[in-house]
Amino acid sequence: MPKLLKRKIGYGLGDMASSMFWKIFSYYLPFFYSNVFGLSLIDAGILVMVTRLWDAVSDPMMGVVADRTDTRMGKYRPYLLWFALPFAVCGVLLFTTPDTSYAGKLIWAYITYILMMTVYTGINVPYGAMLGVITDSPEQKTVFSSFRMLFAYAGSFVALAAWEPMCTFFSSTLGMTEAGAWQWAMIVIAIACLALFLFCFALTREVVHTRSVVSVGSDFKALLKNRPWWILIGAALSFNMFSTVRGATVAYFFADVIGADAHMWLFGLSVLFYSGLFLSVGEVANMAGVALAVPVVRRMGKKPAFMAVNALLVVLSVMFFFLPVSAAGFFLMLVFQVLISVLTGIMSPLVWSMYADVADYSEHRFHTASTGLIFSSSSMAQKFGGAIGGAAVLWLLDACGYVTASGGAAALQPGSAITCLWTLMTFIPAGVAVVAIVAAWFYPLDTARVRVIADELRVRRAAPASTLGQTEKEAAKNFAQINA
């Protein structure tokens, strides 16, 4: 196998592991806390908000630490080895339901969720930053990012398609409680993720060796001055909210709008229409979107592609609202899920590639080799979007009178709750996609500008270290001359 292809596959395996956990957290953890673990919607919403905000805040800290790590294994890659086992163990603890009082459960939930998100940051921020040092080519960064997203969606497909059948197997076949079944399902996922991270570590290498000539304070100062970073944060946060709101609503939507025994006709067969099918088919469509990302970006450019994809997401999300709850409507829902997921599949590698461009912009203008800090900001945006979106779903459901039921069972819901579920699947995601379009309009790094920056950085990185001590003013002046 060619060395570069092996590294692309190896890099993809890392996000396969991360995505398996992240999608289970995003799609099933709110439902688990309210309908299996036994928390109220308000407490579950606060829990999701607090823990993910901490997770987002800790990302830049981890980025700074990773940027200043120096080992024979590389700057970012060693964290894949160091955190693989804690990552798996914390995932199992997160889906463990202790036999204690409500207050004890709430304390356990906070401890395990904060611990899980801290470990997730410890492995995922360095992993993301590896995209900036695994190749020095802007075009190859998009290809590596596409491999990453392709494997991520493959992992998500496996996890989501298997989750409900595993829970059913452990509860119905082996006679476990609902809580025990969810825990054992996570044990299976955790073992797979541990192996994937170890393979990612073994198959990848860092080939770009960046050098920072400024302090940590200067890194943060440069980050705050980085206009493309601010704009991309807003655009990416909005896109992540689109995915989080829809994803966190699906389990509730299927339990209370679609129902447990819904069937549709597919290729002449009557097929059970359940949330795992809806989500896993979406992951396959995501993979198709990832495959389209490179040709779409080559034809349109990154910024126009970002805006066009979000515009289509707005249209499809609004149209979803008018689909009927019937066998024919279920088939159309699956079709719309495929179309929406193809578009979000294009977006994922596109966003990561744009962050790599922002990291190069920062190094070029400010002489700060802060790739980890830049990429941690992308993870921060993802988690802020997840925090706001996940908590908003739970709080809106509570405000609309949603009735929780223990053991994962559905309860009779008032009309206001049903309307809220439809809105959470359609108009609210459409609204945040509009915000993403507006933010991207102001993004300044077009294709030509990124290529100039990449060419200049190749020359600078090859220069002796003694020539790199320019002041920020001198670096900014040179940048302005290059782009004049």
- Average pLDDT of 341-348? 90
Residues near 425 by Cβ (< 8 Å), separated by ≥ 6? 246, 249, 250, 253, 317, 320, 321
The verdict on pTM exceeding 0.85 is no
Query: For the segment 395-435, what is each residue's pLDDT rounded down to a tens digit?
Result: 999 999 998 875 555 678 899 999 999 999 999 999 999 99
- d(CA 190, CA 88) in angstroms, rounded, equals 5
- d(CA 457, CA 86) in angstroms, rounded, equals 37
What is the per-residue DSSP string for 363-405?
A: HHHH----HHHHHHHHHHHHHHHHHHHHHHHHHHHHHTT----
Q: Residue 92: what pLDDT?
A: 97
Summary count for the chain: helices (H), strands (E): 16, 2
CATH architecture of 3-204+214-479: Up-down Bundle (1.20)
Query: In which residue are the tokens 């809580």 written?
Result: 179
What is the per-residue DSSP string for 410-445?
A: -----HHHHHHHHHHHTHHHHHHHHHHHHHHHT---
Query: Average per-residue pLDDT in the chain?
Result: 85
First and final CA of the chain: distance in angstroms?
A: 44
Query: For the segment 293-328, what is each residue's pLDDT rounded down to a tens digit?
Result: 889 988 998 999 999 999 999 999 999 999 999 988
Q: Residue 480: what pLDDT?
A: 47
- Average pLDDT of 328-346? 94
User: What six digits make up the tokens of 404?
Assistant: 């929780």
CB 277 within 8 A of CB 271: yes
Query: For the segment 143-182, what is each residue's pLDDT rounded down to a tens digit?
Result: 888 888 889 888 988 998 899 899 989 998 898 999 999 9
Pairing of strands 269-272, 263-266: antiparallel
Whether residue 218 is predicted with pLDDT greater than 60 in this model: the reply is: yes
User: What are residue 71's DSSP bridge partners?
Assistant: 74
- d(CA 15, CA 100) in angstroms, rounded, equals 35
User: What six digits make up the tokens of 173?
Assistant: 């076949």
- d(CA 421, CA 222) in angstroms, rounded, equals 42
Query: For the segment 182-201, what is each residue's pLDDT rounded down to a tens digit?
Result: 999 999 999 999 999 999 99
The DSSP code for 252 is H
Query: For the segment 45-62, what is each residue's pLDDT rounded down to a tens digit?
Result: 999 888 878 877 787 788
Whether residue 1 is predicted with pLDDT greater than 70 in this model: the reply is: no
User: What six digits make up the tokens of 261?
Assistant: 């025994």
